[in-house]
Amino acid sequence: MSDDKKSDVIRVGSRKSELAMTQTKHVIQCLQKIYPKKEFEIVTMNTKGDKILDKSLPKIGEKSLFTEELELALENGRVNFVVHSLKDLPTTLPAGMALGAILKREDPRDAVVMSKKHKDKKTLASLPKDSVIGTSSLRRTAQLSRNYPHLKIENIRGNLNTRLKKLDDENGPYAAIILAAAGLKRMGWENRMSQLLEPEEALYAVGQGALGVECRESDWEIRSLLEPLFDLETTLRCVCERSFLKTLGGGCSAPVAVSSSLKKNELTITGAVWSLDGQTLIIDTLQSKFYLPDDDGEPPRKCPYQEPRLYCSIVPTKVSSVSLFAAEQLGMKLANSLIKKNALDVMSQARKEVLESK
């Protein structure tokens, strides 16, 4: 391939895990349907979160565990854009970076995957007392501890394949593990899911089930390329969720979770904060009406003289800035409602307990 030809190739950053590669290839396939003459190349790398497997995520205590190396490659021009699970992305990206697309959301719920020795069990409630459930998430740990006190919750790390392998080990401790349904569905492993946890049982992580495509904010060519991938409903819900988390100042070091929906132009979001043992719960639900143009309506116009601001690092493209602002404000309002109920004290105590634990 000539140097000129090589320079036309669009380089896409991805983690090396099978799930990350599957998600990256999905985004590329979507783009190739729109731009059949474009050529894409995947550039893979390991992140800090992939390398440190002997500690729970909250105890590592750093942001951007699964994104820092990818963003460095984006910053220095090694790649043109990066595909992420949106739940892995901090609510504020590094300076100069932006989310150039949010794709249509897959199922955001958590799924229960049973071990072979408990394949006859279909729900967490049916498992014997003191059965061990694996998860690396404080959010899941707190909710499971609250809703299923007869079970034991233990940490499990590794990518999707690694955790399933640990579960399938006949000598392993796990009766079941909790995973994001979206990842299992994207891998074609729906048959491994024994139970889907409804929001009444387990709220999900901010952005869970959605894919975000990160690019350089100043790269207008790539931003234009990515713009058709934006999904209106998913974008509004995720802006609201990310605004909620950003206002709280939460992350993987505190049990914070959400659920959201957009029906008949009304956006509804539930947000909650727990103590580590799940016994303290602060929760609220808010709604707001939105004006959403018809699909065949004229797209929002952009001011040619001023770069529009980002909304939780998301660029306003196909989605109206007015709607994005309203979604952002709703998330902030929900967070402030929880803050008035002492959510920050609960989160602070949870972080302290994580750091002090062995």
Residue type, 55: K
Determine how many CB atoms are found less than 10 A away from the CB of residue 104.
15
Determine how many CB atoms are found less than 10 A away from the CB of residue 197.
21
Q: Which long-range contacts (CB under 8 A, 24 or more apart) does 29-38 make?
A: 30/103, 30/229, 31/225, 31/226, 31/229, 34/228, 35/225, 38/10, 38/225
Core vs surface per residue 264-282: b (16+ CB within 10 A) or e: eeebbbbbbbbbbebebeb
Determine how many CB atoms are found less than 10 A away from the CB of residue 101.
28
Choosing from 3, 88, 294, 345, which is the catalytic residue? Answer: 88
247, 340 in Cβ contact below 8 A?
Answer: no
Residue type, 310: L
**C-alpha span between 100 and 317 (Å, rounded):** 8
114, 121 in Cβ contact below 8 A?
Answer: yes
**C-alpha span between 314 and 213 (Å, rounded):** 10
Which of 346, 320, 122 lies closest to 250 in space, CA to CA?
Answer: 346
CB-based contacts of 247: which residues, under 8 Å, 6+ apart?
331, 332, 335, 336, 339
Q: Please state the length of the chain.
A: 358
Task: Give me the sign of the Cα torsion angle 335, 337, 341, 342.
Answer: positive
Report phi then psi at 189, rounded to 5: -110, 35
In the residue annotation, 88 being an active-site residue is answered as yes
Strand order in the sheet with 256-263: 256-263, 266-274, 281-289
Q: Which residue has the tokens 């060519």?
A: 221
Catalytic residue annotation: 88
